[in-house]
Structure 1
Amino acid sequence: MGRDLPQRDFTDEDRERFRARLRASLGLLDGLLTSPGFGAGEPTLGAELEMFLVTRDGVPVPRNEEVRRAAADPRLVLEVNRYNLEANLTPVPLRPRPFTALHDEADTLLEAVRRAGAAHGAEPYCAGLLPTLRPADLTRRNMSPRGRYAVIDDALGRAGRGLRVSGEQRLRMRSDTFCAQGAASSWQIHLTVRPEEFTRVHNAAQLMTAPVLAVAANSPLLLGRRAWDESRIPWYEQAFGQHRRRVAPADRRSGFGHGWLRGGVRELAEEAVRRYAPLVPLCSDGDWDRPLRPGGPPALDELRLHLGTLWWWNRPVYDPAGDGHLRIELRALPSGPTPADMVANTALLTGLVLDRAAREPGGELPFALA
């Protein structure tokens, strides 16, 4: 989902070919979901740790490419703005001690960033929002030197967007770029899920997101104003600009969703293909439905790329590595403040989700309650 893009401009023919491959991918996905061995491995837990680069006084340091290069660690990748970095942690088995492993790796990666950033006066800071940001820090001039973000920004449109957050204090800002999203950092959990369990686990994740987010909230300050206890949530959704175009909540590319899942990952994939126009219609070369290895599942590059341009709080992931598997990316928790905090939030969320999913439903709650 986070790969860079070698192409910036797309034709109508590119878009039509991409849409055709998306539709065909749904049929291939149907076959995969019923094929023996697909998604049958031991469950794993992974995470993405987003962070800010700041001075000791909290001033953003736009040197992510230099810090990443100095760290020389392939687990570190650039995020939207030049003071954002992301660390991709190694997936670990759900048993016996996943939280200890995630804690130790997050701690190691933050120390690596701290050492690499020292020459640039930068150190990592983990929180849902960087409270010292100013509006001038959220402009396109701060965008990371990575083609993916420029393509997405162009595709979303450069018309002025009005961002509004009302809480204890009100905040309004005009922006013509999704670089406003660079104010937010998350701790995103990846939980592998067997195809036959996907509906129950996804619905459990939808139900448990809000109470765990309430426990984890750490970002009340946004551009000098006190808004929500976790102001990252409304800011992130609005930074993609979908709210200003009279788009119905169910059609926005970021958000929580609009109902309980009934038909597994196929339902979400079909919704993604039917409801959302491709932002980045980049078709893979050669046989697009090819397996990564002989006898393996198809790559489905177009479907994976398309899903990566929908920023749902609980997002489906298809991964063709090995024999292939499905994941749910639990995206709502904030980064920080420490690895211990993030791992504790992970233990609470995954424990509640898996416990709820394992229970027989005893009457369905209204989705509006979630």
Structure 2
Amino acid sequence: MGQQVAKERFSEAEYGRFGERLKDSLLSLRELLGRPGFGAGPATIGAELELFLIDADGRPLRRNKEVRAAAGDDRVVLELGSFNLEVNLTPLPLAGRPFTALAAEARDLMLVVDKAARSQGGRVVPIGILPTLTVFDFTRDALSDETRYRALSRGMRRVRAEPFRVQIHGVERLELEVEDVILESANTSWQVHLRTPPADFARVYNAAQLAIGPVLAVSGNSPSFLGRDLWEETRIALFEASADDRDMERPWRVDGRVCFGSGWVENGAEELFELSVREYEPVMPVMDDEDPLAAVRAGGVPRLAELRLHQGTVWQWNRPVYDPAGGGHLRVELRALPAGPTCVDMAANAAFLLGLVAATAAGPEWTEGFPFADAYRNFYRAARNGLDATLAWPGRAEPAPAAELILELLPVAEEGLAAAGVDGPEASRLLSIIRERVLLRRTGAVWQREALAALGEEPGARAAMLARYRDLAFTDQPVHTWPGPLRF
């Protein structure tokens, strides 16, 4: 979605040509992935952090273009909502102390954006869902003033004529309908990228599908939306509903445009790219002037701009990425973690996730004996119930409480990080944050709920909670150490 889009209206002929180019891109990708040595190299990681802009009252501030301009940093980019920004962190080797570096750069960029936001009468906050949002924040004029987002909105309405229906049943119930994809802007995330050699892709991707359940259970930071107490990580349900392009004409398709998936990957990254082209209609048919087949058959590395653009409009929670930069490579993009509460919390979440992925991908084959349905249930149970979820795991006869399973998996993650060359003290320090979160049962979602309960029914309780949350988020003290309600 970061690619340039010059117009927002397209003809049916353009959609047809784009579909043909996607088929050529898949053939090119298949040939490229079969090229000896393509995508080889040491593991690297990168990350993207989405942020909310708020005004002095804690309400969303629709000035992201002005804030980006004031920031003057190419790493700061617009997101879908005019009250959202994203910061892109510098990729670096997984070996060494990558999580400390990511956390430091994320914090530096948050300070840059916060300073720029102050020039516009606002502040910035890293949180999964802004608790002060109301239904009046999701009109069409809340979209960022960018052609690509207007094109995305039109394209999604082309494939789904009906309103987008949101039904979330958590502690309370929420049901509403909207006419546009603008509800996507209610969600901000911490997206981690892991460079993966093509030969290892299926094992790494499947490991990510397994690992995300217990990691999400201890990372929840989005307990409410529109004043309703919902899931521990409400983003999962909300994003799936807000970009679901299925309608009455598509009852045959199991997965929406935002999904976890429906089976273990067997044939590598190309299997997932082919699925995206086969199952999901294009929404922005922007054509590149490259002939991808000619490029790859001439020994080059094709841009595959159409395929990358299309893939950027299909939001699997774990998503394959093709990048032509630096001779070309593949990445697994891990998209399910929320923004916040602090940079060190996000670094700990990434370390736990990548450690589990490394250990599980390097271990004995387990996908044949562990049903994909169990990983699927793990993901949604973790999103709904957090540390109170019951999760399955390979080698366990029965599902276990998430808190118990996470404590058992921390040494596994530490072994995975060590095998990947991560500095031992760094791994221990970050995984100890996860351990303390479990032992104290204090995630970002739990802290938000407790803070709101302490404030009671007083007017402006959510804004007051958010102001305190924002101040604590910039201390960079992990959320399990934050003052409890009695000291609020």
Is the TM value for this pair above 0.5?
yes
Q: Residue 127 of structure 1: CA displacement?
A: 1.1
Once the two structures are superposed, residues 93-151 of structure 1 have per-residue CA deviations (whole angstroms, 9 ceiling, x without a partner) of 11111101100100000000111111212111111100110011112111100111111
Q: Say if 1:30 and 1:272 are closer, same or farther in 2 by CA, change over 3 A.
A: same
Of 118-127 and 73-82, deviating more is 118-127
Structure 2 distance, partners of 1:259, 1:72, is 43
**SS of alignment partner, residue 335 of structure 1:** coil
Conservation of the 8 A alpha-carbon contact between 1:162 and 1:244: no
Of 50-59 and 225-234, deviating more is 50-59
Aligned to 1:116: 116
Aligned to 1:301: 305
Q: Is 1:150 equivalent to 2:155 in the alignment?
A: no
Structure 1 distance, partners of 2:57, 2:111, is 18
Aligned sequence identity (%): 47
Conservation of the 8 A alpha-carbon contact between 2:44 and 2:91: yes
**SS of alignment partner, residue 214 of structure 2:** helix
**SS of alignment partner, residue 242 of structure 1:** coil
Of 49-58 and 151-160, deviating more is 151-160
Structure 2 distance, partners of 1:62, 1:203, is 39
Aligned to 1:6: 6
Q: Residue 291 of structure 1: CA displacement?
A: 5.4
Aligned amino acid, residue 109 of structure 2 = L
Aligned to 1:215: 218
Of 7-16 and 175-184, deviating more is 7-16
**SS of alignment partner, residue 188 of structure 1:** strand
Aligned to 1:182: 185
Once the two structures are superposed, residues 295-323 of structure 1 have per-residue CA deviations (whole angstroms, 9 ceiling, x without a partner) of 54111111111111101100100000111
| Pairs within 5 Å for 1:1-370 | 1-157=1-157, 159-242=162-245, 245=248, 247=251, 250-288=254-292, 296-362=300-366, 363-370=368-375
Q: Residue 192 of structure 1: CA displacement?
A: 0.5
Structure 1 distance, partners of 2:179, 2:231, is 24
Aligned amino acid, residue 232 of structure 2 = D
**SS of alignment partner, residue 119 of structure 2:** helix
Q: Residue 4 of structure 1: CA displacement?
A: 3.1
Structure 2 distance, partners of 1:14, 1:219, is 39
Rg comparison, structure with higher value = 2
Conservation of the 8 A alpha-carbon contact between 2:244 and 2:257: no
Q: Say if 1:247 and 1:184 are closer, same or farther in 2 by CA, change over 3 A.
A: farther
Q: Residue 247 of structure 1: CA displacement?
A: 4.2
Aligned amino acid, residue 137 of structure 2 = D
Structure 2 distance, partners of 1:310, 1:241, is 10
**SS of alignment partner, residue 120 of structure 1:** coil
Of 156-165 and 243-252, deviating more is 243-252
Q: Residue 249 of structure 1: CA displacement?
A: 5.8
Q: Residue 34 of structure 1: CA displacement?
A: 1.8
Aligned amino acid, residue 255 of structure 1 = C
Tell me the TM-score normalized by structure 1: 0.96
Higher helix residue share: 2
Q: Residue 227 of structure 1: CA displacement?
A: 0.5
Structure 1 distance, partners of 2:43, 2:275, is 26
Q: Residue 36 of structure 1: CA displacement?
A: 2.5
Q: Residue 221 of structure 1: CA displacement?
A: 1.2
Once the two structures are superposed, residues 210-238 of structure 1 have per-residue CA deviations (whole angstroms, 9 ceiling, x without a partner) of 11111100111111000111111100110
Structure 2 distance, partners of 1:224, 1:342, is 25
Of 171-180 and 2-11, deviating more is 2-11
Q: Residue 13 of structure 1: CA displacement?
A: 2.2
Q: Say if 1:197 and 1:66 are closer, same or farther in 2 by CA, change over 3 A.
A: same
Q: Residue 162 of structure 1: CA displacement?
A: 2.0
Conservation of the 8 A alpha-carbon contact between 1:290 and 1:299: no
**SS of alignment partner, residue 270 of structure 2:** helix
**SS of alignment partner, residue 2 of structure 2:** coil
**SS of alignment partner, residue 328 of structure 1:** strand
Q: Residue 277 of structure 1: CA displacement?
A: 1.4
Query: How many residue pairs get matched?
Result: 369
Conservation of the 8 A alpha-carbon contact between 1:199 and 1:261: yes
Conservation of the 8 A alpha-carbon contact between 1:296 and 1:324: no
Structure 2 distance, partners of 1:167, 1:145, is 34
Q: Residue 3 of structure 1: CA displacement?
A: 1.9
Aligned amino acid, residue 118 of structure 2 = A
Q: Residue 364 of structure 1: CA displacement?
A: 2.4
Structure 2 distance, partners of 1:250, 1:268, is 15
Aligned amino acid, residue 136 of structure 1 = F
Once the two structures are superposed, residues 239-270 of structure 1 have per-residue CA deviations (whole angstroms, 9 ceiling, x without a partner) of 11435546456341111001111110111111
Q: Residue 57 of structure 1: CA displacement?
A: 3.5
Conservation of the 8 A alpha-carbon contact between 2:53 and 2:61: yes
Structure 2 distance, partners of 1:10, 1:212, is 41
